[in-house]
Structure 1
């Protein structure tokens, strides 16, 4: 993959644009690649050049990427004003549960339908997904659908008003735990040590709920990039986005190691099953 500037809007010209409708709700989905399906859910405030870069890495690793537009301006470098406006709209949107409610965001129903469609279109044993920041927990909720096999939680940040909360109904969380145990599956999760949005308390809550099925990775703050867009510098204000905004794209960097671990996780979980495998 050729290098692109992370400081200019990304035209996303190498993705196919599809408008997909489930239960009357239409969303733009950017699709690229071939192989088993992986759903990449953007962080706040939208599909930035860094989010698109991560999707291209997934595509180039041998997967079909489905990148739904959930909020913000697609491909844009986030500014402070625009980013804050997108965040404010999302926090009051009926599609999301930004604050503690012991319930999953309603948009996850649409995303589970997307996972089923992606599995039908791409085949293989199942689908992978990564959620980031605002969407960080969505990949776990999507485990309620049998098509989902490889969930990755990158700095899951909701609910905002409960640092130790999990954005999921207790009965759904229990159902996911049963499935993880029954099918011998795991959940990968990432955060920076000094992240004030995705806190240590939240990872502790996941560990209590999911036990050894929750595989946590905590990166040192020194591993985070300091070359940031205005939104991440002024609004986020702490090491946060492990494989996107705060990733350092250099060999040997901990954030690159995290990216490679995620790609290997998808490859292992979504590899075609040979005769005799469960």
Structure 2
């Protein structure tokens, strides 16, 4: 997708927009592709053209993408004002635990059910999941669903008020750790070195909790895209942050492209056996 296209609203016309009701809660989910399922969870403030581009990369790598609408305006280029409003609403929503360490966001129950449904619909050995920013930790919590085999955490940013805090209840974290050991699985995680929302303290906390099952990748700030950013990322985020979306440099040899390819390879290894 051309850079100038990423500055225009995305109609998401190549996705099948489905209303999915799980546990009595209905959400819109954008589905595309074929093959084993991968749940792509959007970063703040919503399914931007950059998030949709990443979802298409996953689709084109041989997977069925399930991209749930969790907040914001689907397909919109995020403005600073609207992006801040979306973030503020999410922070006080009952679905999320944006400001509380050692708690699991209730929305992850719905996401685990989505992973279970996607596995039933798509088959294969299991499901992949990637969370970004506000949803960054959700892929880890989704490991409580046995179908999830390939979790990826991109710049997990919650809780906002505790750099070393983890957005998962201690009992859930212990259960995830036991499963990782029992099934010999790993968690891939990505951040920029100078990210002010996902700092080194958070990755250190994950490492302490999960040991060698937590595989961290820290990219230098120089690897981040600095030009052509949306107003939200330029003025609100204001630091290298989104490894595979807004701050990705779509050129061969770039560290962010290497990160993207490693993630796609991780999904392929776990879900396609390649």
Instruction: Assess if the C-alpha contact under 8 Å between 2:101 and 2:166 holds in 1.
Output: no
Deviation at 1:144, TM superposition (A): 0.4
- Say whether the 8 Å CA contact 1:143–1:176 is kept in structure 2: yes
Q: 1:218-252, CA deviations, whole angstroms, 9 ceiling, x for partnerless residues?
A: 00000000121100010001000000010001111
Aligned counterpart, 2:252 = 251
Whole-Å separation in 1 of the counterparts to 2:75 and 2:172: 33
What's the counterpart of residue 123 of structure 2? 123
Q: Which residue of 2 aligns with 1:221?
A: 221
Residue in 1 that maps onto 2:234 = 233
User: Structure 2: any 5+ residue segments left out of the alignment?
Assistant: none
Structure 1 residue 23: Cα displacement: 1.7
| SS at structure 1 position matched to 2:32 | strand
Give the distance between the partners of 1:10 and 1:249, measured in 2 at CA: 18
Provide the residue aligned with 2:189 in structure 1.
Answer: 189
d(CA) in 1 for partners of 2:143, 2:173 = 10
Q: Which residue of 1 aligns with 2:199?
A: 199
**Following superposition of structure 1 onto structure 2, how do residues 19-168 of structure 1 map, counting pairs within 5 Å?**
19-168=19-168
CA distance in 2, matches of 1:272, 1:230: 40
- Is 1:124–1:272's contact at 8 Å kept on the other side of the alignment? no
Contact 2:101 2:165 in 1 (8 A): no
SS in 2 for 1:179: helix
Residues paired across the two proteins, number = 272
Q: Is the CA contact (8 Å cut-off) linking 1:131 and 1:137 kept in structure 2?
A: yes
SS at match of 2:174: helix
Residue 272 (structure 1) shift: 5.5
Please identify runs of 4+ aligned residues in structure 1 that moved more than 4 A.
Answer: none
Matched residues in 2 for 1:183 and 1:92: separation? 36
Relative distance call for 1:165 and 1:101 in structure 2 (3 A) is: closer
Is the 1:203–1:216 contact (alpha carbons within 8 Å) kept by the matching residues of 2?
yes
The alpha-carbon deviation at position 103 of structure 1 amounts to 1.2
CA distance in 2, matches of 1:85, 1:256: 31
Q: 1:219 to 1:272 in 2, by over 3 A?
A: closer
| Range that drifts further, 13-22 or 97-106 | 97-106
Cα distance in 2 between the residues matched to 1:145 and 1:251: 36
Show the counterpart of 1:12: 12
Distance 2:173 2:224 in 1: 31
Q: Which runs of 5+ in 1 are unaligned?
A: 274-278
Aligned-pair distance for 1:199? 0.5
How far apart are residue 197 of structure 1 and its match? 0.5
1:3 Cα deviation (Å)? Answer: 3.7
Provide the C-alpha distance between the structure 2 equivalents of 1:14 and 1:272, rounded to a whole number of angstroms.
27
8 Å CA contact 1:125–1:272 kept in 2: the answer is: no
**Normalising by structure 1, what TM-score?**
0.96
Q: Which residue of structure 2 aligns with residue 276 of structure 1? A: none
